[in-house]
Structure 1
Amino acid sequence: MKKYACLLLFAIMLNGCDDGDLTPEIIDFEGLNPESCDIKTNELIYKLKPQEALILQLEENTLDDVVGEKTINITDEGLTQLVYRTFDGVISRANICDAIRPSSPNIIRDSKAKSGTITITTTPDTSEPEPDGSTSIKGFNHVIYMSNISYEIVGGVQVDPKSFPFGSLKTTTYTSPTVTLNAKAVMCNPTKIYNYNADRSMIIDALDDSLIQNSETLEPRRSTITATQNKIVFNTYNTTNIPAGYFCETPRPATPEINETWTALPTGTIEVVTTKNGAQYIHVVTIKDVELSNSSGLKFKLPKTFLFGEITTQ
């Protein structure tokens, strides 16, 4: 962050003296897509024309994984800056991003935005459904809009305030959850079952007690997932060694800690097929058309038919 801030400030200082014969610039980068100098931090974002650049400097992690809208005010002292820059020759990414810039072309003029508002709207970038119906979160789309941006050309010529879309930028640092479970599930009681694997678990609470019965089925038993019945929760944990019995304890133990929680939307169904093997009954639990959501508003779909696991009863 400091490296980029110094680069922008140094360029402005180099051009602090002008010939005094200035006219207002026409600053128009419409239709050009923004790019990032570093796709991990996204601190310096730019749009290029052959001899012009529009450079947006952001604080680190401004483009984060939080879905929604945020606004940032541009001030003289703020870390967020917008700079319009012109050159005396054709430029490339290196002229904006390299710590040691190419010796040519030279910067002719810098116009720093004196005021204005930046609005950033973040939405998840979700994949198209796979053949099995599942989706994943590939990253995030950040739509950036500039409102009432007022530039001041070095030397004092003022450019009228403008509002315009800066563009959309994708970030891909997010790792979409992977739901993997064991073949065998476990029943805590007739209304709570669970399955887990290493550092993740899936729990079905308030289970419809008509689903698991010690009698063979001719047709699958079915029950709808609602907000109060058949509640499905998928958790990831800060350990790979979840102790036996953890899921059946009430209240739930404080450790291991949960990293992230995803809950099933009130759609989809649970199906159970029961067969008998000697004195035991084998209940195969399948969930269908389930979409999981977290507290940040992210969503992804499991395969349309997802095997929760087998439960054995006597």
Structure 2
Amino acid sequence: MRAAILAASLLPFAAQAGDCLKSAEAAARQFVALGVTDPVRSAGLVESASLEAYGERIRQVLDDRYAPGSVAIRQRLLGPDWSDERLRSAATEELVAAYLAAGLAQRANYRVQILGASSSRQRWGMGKDVTVSYRLAGPNGEQELKKVLSVAQDSSCWKVEMPFDVYDRIGVLANALKEGRPEPVHAVKSRSAIKLQLLHASYLPKEGMHETIWSRSRSGETRIWVGREPIVTEAGLLGTSAYWSCDNVNFEYPSLHLLLNPGAAQALNDWSSAHLGEDLALLLDGKVVSYGKVAGKLDRHLQLCMADRSLEEVDALAADLAGK
């Protein structure tokens, strides 16, 4: 609760006039300094679209649906009054402030001294890449560091794009939460009425393949070619699940998880070993619903990206495949 109250009291600082910096170098220096001493206020220096994306990533990982441990982590970081409903409805500024305030107590013994900043025009776009040199003093001594930030004009102010290392820290939390996910969520009770086929696939015509259409609500239609003999069918399923786990830079799209029986798993392992770097498609009732490249040997745990569907849609599909 204290963290949530503290965030609310500090939030107005993010909008104060002094945080509208008139140069890229000044914005980058202030962002680095505040990131150590006042991270809540530093959010006011972040470009609006970048702040929105950061908030959505926080919202996703702390959502009840992400993993069983998300509830406890959310209440520890944000406070016990942060329900799943509040998490989903909160404004991005409120959510990010509460999240950043959770680490304030740990920063009390740190001090930062800005040593300098140099900038260069970005190769693409109208912004600048600014390198900030600084000295960080803490319980374990001092060290000199550098941070490279992308800075751009947002209205009349220079704003910083959220650096990738903050997403790395959320990624560590996300990976820890994933360890607690049950697999499968839906155990197969009876053979599915949905016809499932995992097929060798290609974007180009190949001998032994036939043409079909991969239709997606956001991306439109794509012609692909698929094999005639399935590698795995619905008969090979032991269970199914649906989670956010398909990585897309700093966000995760829904994925369908299939748990295969030993025979199906061996068939998939043998096929993938012989077709590394080639493509695989999932067809349900003859329609392509997922397509991807084989990056390594596949086994009994198969994850298939479903980027054009909501998590609720993929979970309903997982339940149907399990015969529920």
Shorter chain as normaliser: what TM range? under 0.3
Q: Which has the higher strand share?
A: 1
Q: Which has the higher helix share?
A: 2
Q: Indicate the structure whose relative CO is greater, using CA pairs within 8 Å and at least 6 residues apart.
A: 2
For normalisation by structure 2, the TM-score amounts to 0.26
For normalisation by structure 1, the TM-score amounts to 0.27
**Higher Rg of the two aligned structures:** 1
